[in-house]
Amino acid sequence: MEEIPMGRIEEIIFFFPPEKKKPPEKNHMRYLFMFFLPVLATGVFIGTATSSYQIEGMLPGRTIWDVYTDQHGLESVGNATMHYLRFREDLGLMARMNVRAYRMSLSWTRIMPSRNGEVDTAGLRFYHDVLDECRRLGIAVYATLYHWDLPAYLDEGENRGWLDPGIVGWFLGYAQRVFEEFDSKVAAWFTINEPLTTSAQGYGTTCGFAPGRCSRENMLVSAHYQLLAHAAVARYYLGHYPNGRIGMVLNSNWFEPLDGSDDARKWSEKRLAETYGWFMDPLFFGQYPEILRDETAGLGLVFSEEQKAALMGSSTLIAVNHYTTYYVDANGEGSVDRAWDRSQAPWLFDAPIGMERLLRHIGERYSSTLPVYVTEFGVCALRDGPVDLGRVHYLSGYIDRALAVHRERVVNLVGLFVWSFLDNFEWASGYSQTYGLVGIDRGHGLARDPRLSYSFLQDLIHRLSDGSV
């Protein structure tokens, strides 16, 4: 068993722990179909999610991911699922699934494809068409400004992407234009998706994501500027749209103590602090968690009083992506339970206990009153296909645990977004991992093939809406 050194944040985002047999503490009631789920879910909706780069295709400019996949010989995005031309078909499928809330992202590159900052009217028109179609179908849109697809021109020449202090102003300028154009058609805004993954994987020493400018220092610097960019955009937005809703989408695994020892508990808390707390603490307390404070200060990454105030006033909601859980022992080593179902991704296991624990942690440490959205949860099921029982099992367990916490009123849970509505481009993994409720047949004209999980959620959403669950 390999120990993961403390502070190596980039290695514990998607670390691949060995299996360790651990008897389950309790039956978590993971129903294949939730016909007997004994919770009243009033006020919680179930929606679905996608991101622009992963599904749209036909971009007018290049992103850092186009550059990265070319440089590293990885599968390229191509035209993805051709959602750009088939969005009405896709949204129609979504409406037939009874979805009334959809999380999507806007492409910075589609809206501002060249370094002169001029806006592409065709890009604006496309998103107006998508938002108008959603409104026609009765689907509320929750929009993400940035989901990893940084325009390549912001990471070329003198520009250094998220390592560049200028990124705060560039992101603010882009966001201002987007708000001006689309705010009236969007239910809530998310500024940046998973800054943890961008910093740890794209700028950290494991170096598995774009842009691949990787070092420990770069990891911490890129995180700092993502936080400042979020704060600047949120301050502008709330100043101009005071009744709006805005937040940053953070992701977190759950780290469960392997046993009842104090050391296992302390190590689990450290793992959570240096991943989720790395970003959540600045947003709510105005400073980095203690475990990172000396290192960030040594690099000059200290928030001014004005920046602290901006960060602490930047969230009118909490948005979290959660996929999996790891056990942590008294030596800080990670493991998983052999009973947990595997997936196509070596880091992702079906462990719904983490959904309950993480939501409870949010309510107890950060806020029990702010609206909370689980903005992504989902699985690339190991034996995927039209009858995707593994995905149904995963979704039912995670939804069950989320609604159980909601029932206790520990946290103000409002909505759950399943990742992903469509099979899509999964970054460095290309098209090898399938997360979709709707399969994409890449060998037959990108045909849309709804899976069993689509029907499962179609029925569940209907029963949640009419009060029968």
Tell me the pLDDT tens digit for each residue of 102-126.
999 999 999 999 988 899 999 999 9
CA dihedral of 11, 16, 17, 21, whole degrees rounded to 10: 160
Q: Which amino acid is at 165?
A: P
In the prediction, which pLDDT does 352 show?
98
For residue 464, pLDDT over 90 is answered with no
Q: Is the pLDDT of residue 83 over 80?
A: yes
- Mean pLDDT to the nearest integer, 132-137: 99
pLDDT at 344: 96
Share of the chain above pLDDT 70, in %: 90
Predicted local distance difference test score (pLDDT) of residue 42? 63
Please write the tens of the pLDDT for every residue from 204-220: 988 999 999 999 999 99
Question: Are the C-beta atoms of 31 and 394 separated by less than 8 Å?
Answer: no
Average pLDDT over residues 390-405: 97
Mean pLDDT of 419-433: 98
Which residue type is seen at 279? F
How far is Cα 125 from Cα 139, in angstroms, rounded to an integer?
A: 19
Q: Categorize the per-residue pLDDT at 19 as very low, low, confident or very high, splitting at 50, 70 and 90.
A: low
Strand partners, 350: 341
pLDDT tens-digit profile of 168-199? Answer: 999 999 999 999 999 999 999 999 999 999 99
- Cross-strand pairs, 140: 101
Please, what is the average pLDDT of the chain? Answer: 92
Residue 405 tokens read as: 């916490």
Task: Give all domains of the chain, ordered by start, each with its CATH number.
Answer: 9-465 (3.20.20.80)
C-alpha–C-alpha distance, residues 152 and 172, integer Å: 17
Residue with tokens 């805004």: 189
Give the Cβ contact number of residue 79 at 10 Å: 16
pLDDT of 465 reads 79
- Of the pLDDT bands very low, low, confident and very high (cuts 50, 70, 90), residue 382 is confident
Neighbouring CB atoms inside 10 A of 270's CB total: 19
**Mean pLDDT (whole number) for 61-72:** 98
State the catalytic residues.
194, 376
2-16, 231-245, 413-427: least confidently modelled range: 2-16
Q: If phi over 0 gives left and psi between -120 and 50 gives alpha, with beta otherwise, what is residue 37? A: beta
pLDDT in tens, 310-364: 999 999 999 999 999 999 999 999 999 999 999 999 999 999 999 999 999 999 9
What's the rounded Cα separation, in Å, for the pair 251 and 232? 21
Q: What pLDDT shows up at residue 280?
A: 99
Confidence grade of residue 20 (pLDDT, cut at 50, 70, 90): low
Looking at this protein, which amino acid is placed at residue 354?
G
